[in-house]
């Protein structure tokens, strides 16, 4: 793609002076715009946002120093590089120009090669600064988008907890514990983020399960269990088409698989089950059995821990059970 031309605003009350500068810079590398006085220069600067301003000092009505000060006081154009063009060669004029906010000086009449070199140098620096600003803006927008994504996920998760009243707060608890376990085995960065998202959304498929089944306190019939067991597939069908959530689908899809192959929806066994789901399944069961339910009270710590250990090699991967117990010892009082 062809680079965009830099726009240069040439400000000089003397027509011959303007024409001389235009003839020097009319190389095809720049878009040249001219102003005949300071007032016109300010209006043009605000409307075209030039990349460089070549500004004569000695002008009637408003001299170049005042034009420069006004530009620097306007946030929309304050960062535009300003190169003073002046026949003045005394030290005080130089200091006045720098104090007004000028970036450089060149004597009038300008040397053709010097002017081109100065403008090229400033143009390159200004382009680099703009690229850095654009990159920063893109990164900021990206972070804001990710934050919006995660707030949306948290909202979905909270809605699920509110619907399934017996597990209110469940999603947040299991997410925190799963992330801790993942960190303990060295998972960081984007992989950890996807585990967090997957844990938050692990029960999203239950949105497709009727309340009469999801909230039923009595034992489910075979037909009701058949429908309930479809919620991992429902989660997959909901999440996989969403590109940014696709890497997080392992937990919602596979967290009911068991190490011995007796789980669902696919009956995967051992390391066929994705690592994130193997981590999460222990945490999910732990939170379920240590929380009150309408049909039973929460289990004691010792009873729950004994059950987790008893299920090592059956429901859970043995190494994940050891990791879970280590995590409990590290983080629980």
Indicate the pLDDT class of residue 282, thresholds 50, 70 and 90. very high
Question: Is residue 329 classed as helix, strand or coil in its secondary structure?
Answer: helix
Q: Which of 5, 46, 165, 206 is catalytic?
A: 206
Q: Where in the chain is the domain with CATH 3.40.50.2300?
A: 6-136
R_g over Cα of the chain: 34
pLDDT of 234 > 70? The answer is: yes
Active site residue 206: yes
Among 235, 243, 240, 165, which Cα is nearest to 200's? 235
CA distances from 210 to 91, 160, 225, 228, 252 (A): 84, 13, 12, 9, 18
Q: Residues 255, 294: contact at Cβ < 8 Å?
A: no
Looking at domain 6-136, which CATH architecture does it have?
3-Layer(aba) Sandwich (3.40)
Q: What is the pLDDT of residue 3?
A: 53
Q: Residues 232, 254: contact at Cβ < 8 Å?
A: yes
- Is domain 164-331 annotated with CATH 1.10.3210.10? yes
Average pLDDT score over residue span 156-163: 71
Per-residue pLDDT tens digits for 37-78: 999 999 999 999 998 999 988 888 899 899 999 999 998 888
Q: Where in the chain is the domain with CATH 1.10.3210.10?
A: 164-331
Q: How far apart are CA 137 and CA 177, in angstroms?
A: 34
pLDDT of 300 > 60? The answer is: yes
**Strands of the 82-86 sheet, one edge to the other:** 30-35, 6-11, 52-56, 82-86, 104-107
Average pLDDT score over residue span 205-215: 85
Q: Can you tell me which residue has the tokens 């991967």?
A: 317
Q: How far apart are CA 299 and CA 60, in angstroms?
A: 89
H/E element, 10: strand 6-11
Among 92, 143, 119, 100, which Cα is nearest to 25's? 119
Among 230, 306, 310, 219, which Cα is nearest to 264's? 230
CA distances from 266 to 188, 206, 237, 299, 313 (A): 28, 18, 15, 30, 18
Q: How many CA atoms lie less than 13 Å away from 67 in the CB half-sphere?
A: 35
pLDDT of 266 > 90? The answer is: yes
Report the interhelical angle of 38-48 vs 64-72 (nearest 10°): 30
pLDDT of 1 > 50? The answer is: no
Among 42, 29, 87, 44, which Cα is nearest to 68's? 42
Q: How far apart are CA 98 and CA 91, in angstroms?
A: 11
Average pLDDT score over residue span 3-23: 87
Segments in the chain forming alpha helices (H) = 15-25, 38-48, 64-72, 91-100, 112-163, 170-184, 189-200, 211-214, 222-228, 231-239, 250-254, 275-289, 301-310, 318-331
Average pLDDT score over residue span 268-273: 96
Question: Is residue 41 classed as helix, strand or coil in its secondary structure?
Answer: helix
Q: Residues 11, 54: contact at Cβ < 8 Å?
A: yes
Q: How far apart are CA 165 and CA 159, in angstroms?
A: 10
* Cis ω before 109 (30° cut-off from 0): yes
Q: Residues 277, 268: contact at Cβ < 8 Å?
A: no
Q: What is the pLDDT of residue 333?
A: 57
């Amino acid at each position: 793609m062809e680079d965009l031309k830099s726009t240069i605003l040439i400000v000089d009350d003397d027509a011959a002076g303007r024409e001389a500068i235009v003839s020097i810079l009319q190389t095809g590398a720049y878009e040249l715009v001219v102003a005949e006085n300071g007032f016109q220069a300010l209006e043009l600067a605000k409307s075209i946002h030039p990349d460089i301003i070549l500004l004569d000092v000695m002008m009637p009505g408003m001299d170049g120093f005042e034009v420069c000060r006004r530009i620097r006081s306007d946030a929309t154009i304050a960062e535009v590089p300003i190169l003073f063009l002046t026949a003045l060669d005394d030290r005080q004029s130089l200091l006045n120009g720098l104090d007004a906010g000028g970036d450089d000086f060149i004597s009038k009449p300008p040397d053709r090669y010097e002017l081109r070199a100065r403008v090229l140098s400033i143009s390159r620096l200004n382009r680099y600064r703009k690229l850095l600003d654009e990159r920063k803006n893109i990164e900021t927008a990206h972070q804001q988008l990710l934050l919006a994504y995660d707030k949306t996920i948290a909202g979905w998760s909270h809605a699920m907890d509110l619907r399934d009243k017996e597990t209110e707060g469940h999603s947040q608890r299991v997410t925190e514990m799963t992330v801790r376990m993942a960190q303990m085995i060295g998972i960081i960065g984007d992989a950890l983020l996807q585990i967090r998202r997957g844990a938050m959304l692990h029960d999203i498929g239950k949105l497709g399960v009727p309340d009469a089944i999801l909230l039923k306190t009595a034992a489910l019939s075979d037909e009701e269990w058949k429908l309930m067991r479809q919620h991992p597939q429902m989660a997959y069908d909901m999440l996989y088409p969403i590109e940014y959530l696709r890497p997080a689908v392992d937990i919602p899809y596979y967290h009911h698989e068991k190490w011995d192959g007796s789980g669902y929806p696919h009956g995967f066994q051992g390391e066929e089950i994705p690592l994130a789901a193997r981590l999460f399944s222990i945490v999910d069961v732990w939170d379920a059995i240590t929380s009150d339910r309408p049909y039973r009270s929460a289990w004691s710590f010792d009873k729950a821990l004994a059950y987790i250990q008893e299920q090592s090699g059956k429901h859970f991967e043995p190494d994940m059970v050891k990791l879970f117990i280590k995590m409990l010892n590290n983080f629980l009082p």
